[in-house]
């Protein structure tokens, strides 16, 4: 009789946790991060993020890079190259995307910016249609690569994803903070 009672109580606790707003925070995937070298307190340049999916904001790549830059800066562990300086350099050199850059080009840009490391990122959004509800959610992925400008090697790779019902900027901010906290 006692084991059945215990199972019933555990079942109700599980249902209660699943219905709580904090449940998602309890079981949220932590970022997958691989770090090959330490890069604290160094100069980091964060390039505009690539995007994939349908976003409300046209310039979501710039916004995501700014959010990630702010998250890194606020830790106090990193010296961040001013994003305005990076954007001006891209305009001056008539560059639009980092997708087609090779390691040599990235290294040269990083050194020109005075950065020891470059952060390249990608933000992905997919819709999660729920035909039984008006409350739609989206899955957001934030992926980053940290590249050493001296030897052109990858210093770290991180990715984090989660489902959100909030706006894009809030979702990106939450994911960026999760990744930066683990770097």
When mean pLDDT is compared across 12-16, 41-45, 72-76, 89-93, the lowest value belongs to 12-16
Q: Ramachandran region of residue 42, left (φ > 0), alpha (ψ -120 to 50) or beta?
A: beta
Alpha-carbon distance 92 to 90, whole Å? 5
- Whether the pTM exceeds 0.85: the reply is no
> Of 9-13, 29-33, 38-42, 93-97, where does the model show the most confidence?
93-97
CA distances to 45, 81, 135, 181 from 123, in Å: 17, 21, 22, 18
With CA atoms as reference, report the closest residue to 34 among 155, 160, 147, 180. Answer: 155
Taken in order 113, 79, 121, 154, the sign of the CA dihedral is: positive
pLDDT band (50, 70, 90) for residue 5: low
Look at strands 117-128 and 43-46 and give their pairing.
parallel
pLDDT at 127: 81
pLDDT of res. 135: 61
What the block records as the tokens of 50 is: 């690539």
121-149: pLDDT as tens digits: 999 888 866 656 566 778 888 999 998 88
């Amino acid at each position: 009789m006692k084991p059945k009672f215990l199972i019933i109580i555990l079942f109700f606790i599980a249902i209660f946790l699943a219905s709580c707003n904090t449940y998602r925070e309890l079981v949220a995937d932590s970022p997958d991060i691989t770090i090959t070298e330490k890069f604290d307190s160094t100069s980091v340049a964060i390039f505009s993020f690539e995007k994939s999916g349908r976003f409300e904001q046209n310039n979501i790549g710039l916004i995501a890079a700014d959010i990630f830059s702010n998250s890194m800066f606020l830790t106090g562990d990193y010296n961040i190259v001013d994003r305005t300086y990076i954007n001006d350099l891209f305009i001056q050199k008539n560059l639009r995307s980092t997708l087609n850059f090779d390691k040599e080009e990235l290294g040269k840009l990083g050194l020109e910016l005075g950065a020891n490391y470059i952060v390249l990122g990608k933000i992905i959004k997919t819709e999660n249609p729920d035909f039984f509800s008006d409350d739609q959610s989206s899955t957001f992925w934030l992926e980053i690569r940290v590249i050493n400008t001296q030897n052109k090697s990858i210093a770290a790779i991180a990715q984090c994803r989660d489902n959100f019902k909030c706006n894009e900027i809030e979702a990106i901010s939450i994911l960026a903070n999760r990744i930066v906290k683990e770097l």
